[in-house]
Amino acid sequence: MIGFADLLPMTDGDLATMTFLQDVVDIMLGYIVKSFDRSTKVIDFQYPNELLQMNNWELSDEPETLDDVLVNCRATLEYAVKTAHPRYFNQLSTGLDMVGLAADWLTSTANTNMFTYEVAPVFVLLEYVTLKKMREIIGWQDGHGDGIFSPGGAISNMYAMLLARFKMFPEVKERGMASLPRLAAFTSEHSHFSIKKGAAALGIGTESVICVKVDERGKMIPSDLERRIVDAKQRGLVPFFVSATAGTTVYGAFDPLIAIADICRKHGVWMHVDGAWGGSLLMSRKHRWKLNGVERANSMTWNPHKMMSVPLQCSALLVREEGLMQKCNQMQASYLFQEDKQYDVSYDTGDKAIQCGRHVDIFKLWLMWRAKGTVGFEAQIDKCLELSEYLYDKIKDREGYEMVAPIIKARMMEYGTTMVSYQPQGNKVNFFRMVISNPAATFEDINFLIEEIERLGQDL
Amino acid sequence: MIGFADLLPMTDGDLATMTFLQDVVDIMLGYIVKSFDRSTKVIDFQYPNELLQMNNWELSDEPETLDDVLVNCRATLEYAVKTAHPRYFNQLSTGLDMVGLAADWLTSTANTNMFTYEVAPVFVLLEYVTLKKMREIIGWQDGHGDGIFSPGGAISNMYAMLLARFKMFPEVKERGMASLPRLAAFTSEHSHFSIKKGAAALGIGTESVICVKVDERGKMIPSDLERRIVDAKQRGLVPFFVSATAGTTVYGAFDPLIAIADICRKHGVWMHVDGAWGGSLLMSRKHRWKLNGVERANSMTWNPHKMMSVPLQCSALLVREEGLMQKCNQMQASYLFQEDKQYDVSYDTGDKAIQCGRHVDIFKLWLMWRAKGTVGFEAQIDKCLELSEYLYDKIKDREGYEMVAPIIKARMMEYGTTMVSYQPQGNKVNFFRMVISNPAATFEDINFLIEEIERLGQDL
């Protein structure tokens, strides 16, 4: 029986390696084609204890054969959620882009790390090129500024808060929060929970995150923001950070950035735009007006792994001031960032990060951008928004199934025909949170979803 | 010409998709086989400005054809560092494991997120199984405890510091560092820079990280640790965190964990073991004694992407106390972590994380473990240590090239025959930091490296 010891780097392992990898590729190709097939289930749902018992998942002392390894690969995909399925609407990241997938395979094959130009020359340059392009699209002059790809929107938002604090109080790096006055951060009551998570982690505390009221469509009310900033100052707090949301997690609302920018300037507060979800609308000439004012922000989170359908993970933090990230985070580790290297060490971006090693997240975005062009992303985003308008028109006059969302959801999982998330918001009861970012979805899939929800809830 | 619009999810896109993906696979297979071939260069080095001009890397409005996409894939690999090459010794993560690679391809294909069981049922279970196994290997009773896979060792260490602070002062989550006394963390002067990065980010401040002296072999001196803890207390600081290092970044030294555990217990301080590099020695019956005492730690960082050669990224934080991570980091976002779900929500691990979305890093480790068994990892680690003893024996009586490390390094990059890092440490001049974690390396490759360094330095 052939095992891992027959593969490269073993002598004469070439043939066995090619055969094994090709077998895995064939399994994956079969899965991919099936994922896009509407007649297959989105998920073959099993309860955790059942799934634990349906297969032997334990780790043992002894090796398996490569045939067993292939069996494991098949089993893993069999019980996976088909996130590429045209009827998977469950999360903000849905769909599977074929060029992005190919790029992610290639990234794994290159198996390197973003800390220095030395070990990732091409990827470091592509990050440089892409971040510059994104800053141009934001509208910062000549694409100047800074940025990084981080492990997700929550970390990107945390970076922004870290930078805002450092900008106002650079001594915090050495001396900690003990040397600072009490800070206050502001974000809307519909903003993402990562703002509070970040404040907790950074030693600022969740109580220092002051929630600003939203209007009936979920947008931050600027007058309430200003009132709370003034109030915080009167209580002796120092406002240092406003996070406006471009595309809230539940309503998909866009905070009014121009009015917020005016308030931030007036009070000398760092303006961050959390565009993890809605930032991609900047690629659409038709819809980018929703982010008017973003060019006045000090920083922005923008996750191409959401509405642009780049495979997970791909989140960018863009920063208007160049050099600040480096000053805030650098520790000048001499084993990585030698100053006496033979090349321009400004390409060694690792010391900007709070991480040491950093995963290569850039190549899939870059390669998709080359394959689609800006216009390709634009078309994809415009189509998602068209589908969501269609859905809105179809259901705006129907009511009645909100109260029983969890029961319908449970049935939906068991049938596996489609997947959509649900949640309460404030004093509202549970309702379905419909996410349309899957490039595979069509008008028919929206119709199917509505009918399926009604069918599953029929006897309730 | 065929473009992205001919691929899935487009109607009848199956064939074009299979052809395109197979073309990319063929490019990768060629690259893989070449990477292990000692007659090829490790790197075809180009200076940043040259590399920028050697190809068109810019992003444009218009789409490319799929043929152009393939050209881009080839160019990217052409200038990549062959991290799988048997003579690549540059970083702590080297080598390319074929089963790990296949698993990473499959992970990309599944394209999901670790936050809930609902969207990643298999991966969530595999993380559960693997973390438990790792805790058993550490020696925690019945594998009890907690843990998470995080985006690298620096973030794992930051998690540990966050938990230690929360354990002692749970009010910090809501009220921030302003409500706390001045804290003190302790780590050796040879420890990884991420301890200070973490302290800066968490609002503790780098000045609160007190460096403990090491002996001539780079191990923390326990009596100096205790002296500094006592001294800090006298100065009114509150010692809350000791990070012992199991495998320092430069010397590869192991701090004496038993003595450190005694001191931590005596003074009521959280004991963390940063085993990002050396933690994998726990898999070796011959070498695990170097971590004796680790079972008394409160937390441990262990990066399978280093000495176990799992593809990047794969870093685990293991925690002895169950439930603490959840309490420390949870924000109970109602759109993800609905309490009225139909399955056991204790499998929804996302709220333990400071991230929201979390990349699937588990599958490659799990599949490699199945393919090799614990004994396979053990053999791989024992071989690396054998090679490093061999290297030590070969060079211990030679001297003289330390002073010129940067020049030899620059030549090495230009020839591209091998890659090894260099650095100064304290008052020592630059020297080569030889990392042996590449499973493809043999005794002959070690001989080659020594000869190559001498050849490149001949006329200096």
Which chain A residue's Cα is nearest to B22?
A25
Residues of chain A contacting residue B311, judged by C-beta atoms under 8 Å apart: 108, 111
Given this model, what pLDDT does residue A422 score?
83
Inter-chain touch B7–A372, beta carbons under 8 Å: no
Distance from CA of B387 to the nearest CA of A (A): 16
Task: Name the token pair of B379.
Answer: 């053999």
Across residues B376-389, what is the average pLDDT?
95
Inter-chain touch A354–B197, beta carbons under 8 Å: yes
Inter-chain touch B17–A32, beta carbons under 8 Å: yes
Nearest CB among A13, A57, A205 relative to B125 is that of A57
Which chain A residue's Cα is nearest to B34?
A14
Distance from CA of A16 to the nearest CA of B (A): 10
Inter-chain touch B151–A155, beta carbons under 8 Å: yes
Distance from CA of B70 to the nearest CA of A (A): 10
Interatomic CA distance for residues A79 and A52, integer angstroms: 11
Task: Name the token pair of A387.
Answer: 């589908």
Residues of chain A contacting residue B101, judged by C-beta atoms under 8 Å apart: 21, 108-109, 111
Across residues A171-175, what is the average pLDDT?
97
Which chain B residue's Cα is nearest to A378?
B61
pLDDT over 80 at A404, yes or no:
no
For residue range B406-448, list pLDDT tens digits in order.
Answer: 788 888 888 999 998 887 777 776 778 888 888 999 999 999 9
Across residues A342-371, what is the average pLDDT?
94
Inter-chain touch B61–A373, beta carbons under 8 Å: yes
Distance from CA of B385 to the nearest CA of A (A): 18
Inter-chain touch B79–A121, beta carbons under 8 Å: yes
For residue range A11-43, list pLDDT tens digits in order.
Answer: 899 999 999 999 999 999 999 999 999 999 999
pLDDT over 60 at A98, yes or no:
yes
pLDDT over 70 at A402, yes or no:
no
Given this model, what pLDDT does residue A102 score?
98
The alpha carbons of chain A give a radius of gyration, in whole angstroms, of: 24
Q: For B416, how many CA atoms within 13 A lie in the half-sphere containing its CB?
A: 18
**Nearest one of A407, A391, A409, A400 to A447, comparing CA atoms:** A391
pLDDT over 90 at A106, yes or no:
yes
Given this model, what pLDDT does residue A400 score?
59
pLDDT band at A189 (very low <50, low <70, confident <90, very high): very high
For residue range B320-332, list pLDDT tens digits in order.
Answer: 999 999 999 999 8
Given this model, what pLDDT does residue A445 score?
93
What's the complex ipTM?
Answer: 0.97
Residues of chain A contacting residue B355, judged by C-beta atoms under 8 Å apart: 151-152, 154-155
Inter-chain touch A358–B194, beta carbons under 8 Å: no
The alpha carbons of chain B give a radius of gyration, in whole angstroms, of: 24
Q: Which amino acid is at A158?
A: M
Distance from CA of A20 to the nearest CA of B (A): 9
Inter-chain touch A104–B108, beta carbons under 8 Å: yes
B68 neighbors B2 (Cβ within 8 angstroms): no
Task: Name the token pair of B202.
Answer: 């968490």
Distance from CA of B451 to the nearest CA of A (A): 22
Inter-chain touch A205–B367, beta carbons under 8 Å: no
Residues of chain A contacting residue B313, judged by C-beta atoms under 8 Å apart: 357, 359
Residue A207 CA from chain centroid, whole number: 26
A223 neighbors A229 (Cβ within 8 angstroms): no
Residues of chain A contacting residue B345, judged by C-beta atoms under 8 Å apart: none
Inter-chain touch A376–B4, beta carbons under 8 Å: yes
Whether the model clears a pTM of 0.95, i.e. scores above it, the answer is yes
SS3 per residue for chain A: CCEHHHCCCCCCCHHHHHHHHHHHHHHHHHHHHHHCCCCCCCCCCCCHHHHHHHCCCCCCCCCCEHHHHHHHHHHHHHCCCCCCCCCEECCCCCCCCHHHHHHHHHHHHHCCCCCCCCCCHHHHHHHHHHHHHHHHHHCCHHHCCEEEEECCHHHHHHHHHHHHHHHHCCCHHHHCHHHCCCEEEEEECCCCCHHHHHHHHCCCCHHHEEEECECCCCCECHHHHHHHHHHHHHCCCEEEEEEEEECCCCCCCECCHHHHHHHHHHHCCEEEEEECCHHHHHHCCCCHHHHCCHHHCCEEEECCCCCCCCCCCCEEEEECCCCHHHHHHCCCCCCCCCCCCCCCHHHCHHHHCCCCCCCCCHHHHHHHHHHHHHHHHHHHHHHHHHHHHHHHHHHCCCCCCHHHHHHHHHHHHHHCCCEEEEEEECCEEEEEECCCCCCCCCHHHHHHHHHHHHHHCCCC
Which chain A residue's Cα is nearest to B47?
A343
Given this model, what pLDDT does residue B337 score?
80
Inter-chain touch A22–B20, beta carbons under 8 Å: no
pLDDT over 70 at A399, yes or no:
no
Inter-chain touch B197–A329, beta carbons under 8 Å: yes
Chosen for mutation from A25, A241, A369, A414 (greatest number of chain B CBs closer than 10 Å) is A25
pLDDT over 90 at A86, yes or no:
yes
Distance from CA of A446 to the nearest CA of B (A): 16
**Nearest one of A28, A103, A83 to A418, comparing CA atoms:** A83
Residues of chain A contacting residue B440, judged by C-beta atoms under 8 Å apart: 8-9
First to last CA, chain B: 55
pLDDT band at B372 (very low <50, low <70, confident <90, very high): very high
For residue range B147-184, list pLDDT tens digits in order.
Answer: 999 999 999 999 999 999 999 999 999 999 999 999 99
B348 neighbors B115 (Cβ within 8 angstroms): yes
Interface size, chain A vs chain B, as Cβ–Cβ contacts under 8 Å: 508
Chosen for mutation from B111, B172, B274, B312 (greatest number of chain A CBs closer than 10 Å) is B111
Reported as type and span, the H/E element at residue B371 is: helix B362-395
pLDDT band at B209 (very low <50, low <70, confident <90, very high): very high
A288 CB contacts (<8 Å, ≥6 apart)? A281, A282
Given this model, what pLDDT does residue A432 score?
82
Chosen for mutation from B105, B114, B123, B329 (greatest number of chain A CBs closer than 10 Å) is B105
Distance from CA of B227 to the nearest CA of A (A): 22
Neighbours of A323 (CB within 10 A): 11
Mean pLDDT of chain A: 94
Neighbours of A398 (CB within 10 A): 10
pLDDT band at B399 (very low <50, low <70, confident <90, very high): low
Max Cα distance, chain A (Å) = 75
Task: Name the token pair of A435.
Answer: 């996410």
Mean pLDDT of chain B: 94
Inter-chain touch A9–B176, beta carbons under 8 Å: no
Distance from CA of B244 to the nearest CA of A (A): 18
Q: Average the pLDDT over each of A200-214, B88-102, B416-430 and give the range with the smallest value.
A: B416-430
Work out the percent of chain A whose per-residue pLDDT is above 90. Answer: 80
Nearest CB among B48, B64, B102 relative to A370 is that of B64
Q: Which amino acid is at A103?
A: A
Residues of chain A contacting residue B98, judged by C-beta atoms under 8 Å apart: 4, 7-8, 17, 20-21
